[in-house]
Amino acid sequence: MARILLYLSIFAAFLFMISGYGYQWGIWSLGIGFSIMRYSAYAAMALFVMNVIAIWVNRKSGAAIITYLVISGFITLIISGTALYWQQKAQSVPPIHDITTDLVNPPDFVALIRLREDAPNPPEYAGEETAALQREAYPQIETLVLNEDLQQVMDRAVMIVVNRKWQLVAINRSEGRIEATEKLPWFGFSDDVVIRFTDDNGDTRVDMRSKSRIGRSDVGVNARRIERFLNDLDRGF
């Protein structure tokens, strides 16, 4: 029984992990990938409860049985915790996927438009409804103003993009624009970024926009990306 629980826990963990990679590798559709992830998470939660009960029932049994059950319980705890974390995260943020520091005049995608031709989410800004939800959920996302030369700020921004291993799509120094793409692990989703640099009487205003190509909600990923990038740019990293 202890061995069976261990094997089932390993199988549930395997299904949970392969759900995203299978979609990324083109083995199955996104809907199937999400279904595999969901039901393997449910299975892991059920197995975790069964492991806890089995440990209690067999608490006076041999060390081998307890070891099997502890390992099985640990595996299912990780999967269950991961699934519950992302579920809670999704419920705590608004269902938007287009975040920008400038809600009135968001930076436009130019070079990235051709890469987004087949994307379910269009390159145009989502509109006032999204802006209102962003204001409420992410008030800290705002324009960064640096007392530095525009080209120097752009140079540092390019280095941050390269260090983060984003795909650098375009650098337009005359228009003050950088465009890049970050490919996320697991499901392999691509999120696009445009950074706009504007001279403001010797200072440099930096506006940034990050948008997912697929999905209604980004689970807060785009806001975190902008916040971390601008923090690093401000600190000079």
Whether residues 76 and 20 fall in one domain: yes
pLDDT at 167 over 90: yes
Q: How far is residue 220's CA from residue 198's CA, in Å, rounded to a whole number? A: 27
Q: pLDDT tens digits for 183-229?
A: 999 999 999 999 999 999 999 999 999 999 999 999 999 999 999 99
Q: pLDDT tens digits for 125-158?
A: 989 999 999 999 999 999 999 999 999 999 999 9
Q: pLDDT tens digits for 81-120?
A: 999 999 999 999 999 999 999 999 999 999 999 999 999 9
Whether residues 131 and 153 fall in one domain: yes
- Our count of domains for the chain comes to 2
Whether residues 45 and 126 fall in one domain: no
pLDDT (0 to 100) of residue 59 = 85
Whether residues 57 and 165 fall in one domain: no
Whether residues 86 and 104 fall in one domain: no
Domain holding 193, by residue range, is 98-235
Whether residues 69 and 145 fall in one domain: no
Residue finishing a domain among 32, 67, 92: 92
Considering the chain, what is the average pLDDT of its residues? 96
Whether residues 28 and 135 fall in one domain: no
Whether residues 15 and 59 fall in one domain: yes
- Which residue in 152, 192, 198 sits closest to 169, CA to CA? 192
Whether residues 57 and 108 fall in one domain: no
Residue finishing a domain among 92, 111, 133: 92
Whether residues 107 and 30 fall in one domain: no
Whether residues 55 and 124 fall in one domain: no
Residue finishing a domain among 53, 68, 92: 92
Is pTM beyond 0.85? Reply is: yes
pLDDT (0 to 100) of residue 219 = 95
In the block, residue with structure tokens 């705890």: 77
Tokens standing for residue 52 = 């806890």
Q: How many CA atoms lie within 13 A of 180 on its CB side?
A: 22
